[in-house]
């Protein structure tokens, strides 16, 4: 799906512009990753 939308998967959080997830939870790790940009 991601490549079909001309996107790519990155292992580095600072290279991401969008988060694709099945279920977002307000965990410390998720919030830290989201805010660190």
pTM score, two decimals?
A: 0.39
Output the six-digit token pair for 31.
Answer: 């919030």
- Of 23, 22, 19, 7, nearest in space to 32 by CA: 19
Whether 26 contacts 32, CB under 8 Å: no
pLDDT the model gives residue 36: 75
Number of Cβ within a 10 Å radius of residue 5: 9
Q: Fill in the DSSP letter of residue 22.
A: S
Give pLDDT tens digits for 1-37: 888 988 888 888 777 787 777 877 778 887 887 787 6
Quote the CA–CA distance of 30 and 37 in Å, as a whole number: 11
Output the six-digit token pair for 28.
Answer: 């410390």
């Amino acid at each position: 799906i991601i490549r079909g939308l001309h996107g790519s998967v990155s292992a580095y959080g600072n290279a991401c512009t969008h988060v694709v997830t099945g279920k977002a939870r307000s965990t410390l790790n998720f919030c830290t990753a989201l805010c660190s940009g």
